[in-house]
Amino acid sequence: MDRTGLKEQFERILAEHGPALSRLAASYTNTLSDRDDLLQETAFAIWQALPRFRGECSERTFAFRIAHNRAISHLTRNSAHKTDPLEEVEVGDSTPGPELYYSQRQTAEKLRKAVRALPLAYRQVIMLTLEGLGYREISSVLGISESNVGARLTRARQLLQEALEKRK
């Protein structure tokens, strides 16, 4: 593919999957600036890898696999710093009443804390599931079997449920 074709494909990938990649980056970082840095690293890595993309998986799986690898590298580089990866995840709220708004904010914060407390392997499958990836795609992104994805997701849900029940 020529450079113009690669540029168009790159821009399409970022347009289609950019918001999801941003949310994924936020799940691995503490601040908006760190998220933006990780997202930029991911975009650069996608651009570098695009000439070697053979279409053996979907572009979405390709992009998420690169984002996952960049995020793991980011965590490794910043392992000396305690991460709070979901702190900057925005939870949309269109409710008109302040009481309901406050209640939903508390619930969202409890959920963020519970997800943050999950071991990385479980947090990864939860975040990718929330982004709408199926078992096969998650398997490809994380490099694990589909049955392992299912097992991790089941365990992650159990841990989340237990954590949320303790916080009541």
Largest CA distance in the chain: 57
Question: What pLDDT is stored for residue 88 in this prediction?
Answer: 46
| Mean pLDDT, residues 19-37 | 88
Domain spans of the chain? 1-90, 93-168
Structure-token pair, residue 53: 């993309």
Fold classified for 93-168 = Arc Repressor Mutant, subunit A (1.10.10)
Instruction: Note the pLDDT tens digit of each residue in 50-79.
Output: 999 988 899 999 999 999 999 988 888 876
Question: What pLDDT is stored for residue 38 in this prediction?
Answer: 93
Q: Could you tell me which residue, 14 or 102, shows the higher pLDDT?
A: 14
Structure-token pair, residue 45: 């890595």
Taking 70 as the threshold, does the pLDDT of residue 93 lie above it? Answer: no
Integer Cα distance of 118 and 152 in angstroms: 11
State whether CATH 3.40.190.10 applies to domain 1-90. Answer: no
Question: What pLDDT is stored for residue 96 in this prediction?
Answer: 56
Kindly tell me the burial class for residue 79, based on how many C-beta atoms sit within 10 Å of its own C-beta (0-12, 13-18, 19 or more). exposed
Q: Do residues 122 and 159 make contact, with C-beta atoms less than 8 angstroms apart?
A: yes
Integer Cα distance of 84 and 42 in angstroms: 20
Taking 70 as the threshold, does the pLDDT of residue 87 lie above it? Answer: no
Instruction: Note the pLDDT tens digit of each residue in 118-148.
Output: 899 999 999 899 889 999 999 999 999 999 9
